[in-house]
Structure 1
Amino acid sequence: MSEDRQPANEAGAARPTGKRQLTGASTTSTAQMEAKKATRVSDDSEKVGGGVASFLPEVGSELKKVIWPTAKQMVVYTTIVFVFLIIMTALVSGVDWLAGLGVEKVLGA
């Protein structure tokens, strides 16, 4: 047997030799993944309220992980948004004005 190929599994197909096999990471089949998911769902349903009570504390812990912008960054970001809005408003207004001129020329109003 060559070193590149693994022995055949229960279904008789040769297992691929990818990074996971070379690094020793475990692989799971679809059936194993479904069994784990079913176990997690049953574990979650045993919680009071299905985990609703833990929602707000989890939100708080996630908000602690956020890297908030400084006041200077907020001023810069807000300025960029306003400049972009002014440019887009001018662009849309200009296209509308030109389209109006074109309609007036075509209809002869």
Structure 2
Amino acid sequence: MSDDRDDAAKGGADDARKGAGDTSAVPTGKAGRGNVAVRRVRSDADDAEDTRGKRVGPITYVGQVGSELRKVIWPTRSQMVTYTAVVFIFLIFMTALVSGVDFGMGKAVEWAFAR
């Protein structure tokens, strides 16, 4: 048993062969690592959270919403002005880009079918 833990700690190709049928081996989602399997220990975070809690009334719900909104870090006025300007500039750029491509493709189609 201690040999298995020592081998798992060392890593390598032997782990890939040993962990093939082991249900505690969890894929890491890392692509391009060849045939080396990376193993990690399952934790409580891997289990789905039980969201079936006790229902609360509407007044309690509104109070909880207010409590959560007090925790929010709201942006300052200057941050909002900056964010709004960035969004508008991006919107103008994307509108011009899409309009230009649409106009260009329309002219290309007219030219192709006019012959």
Where in structure 2 are the equivalents of 1:1-109 lying within 5 Å? 2=2, 4=5, 18=41, 37=50, 41=52, 44=54, 50-53=55-58, 54-108=60-114
- TM-score, normalising length from structure 1? 0.58
Match of residue 9 from structure 1: none
Which protein has the bigger helix share?
Answer: 1
- TM-score, normalising length from structure 2? 0.55
Give 5+ residue unaligned stretches, structure 1. Answer: 6-14, 21-26, 45-49
Structure 1 ranges of 4+ moved more than 4 A:
none
Give 5+ residue unaligned stretches, structure 2. Answer: 7-23, 25-40
CA distance in 2, matches of 1:70, 1:56: 25
CA distance in 2, matches of 1:63, 1:81: 24
Structure with the bigger RCO (C-alpha within 8 Å, sep 6+) is: 2
Count of aligned pairs:
80
Distance change in 2, residues 1:95/1:19 (3 Å): closer
Cα-Cα RMSD:
3.5
Counterpart of 2:74, as a letter, is W
Higher-Rg member (1/2): 1
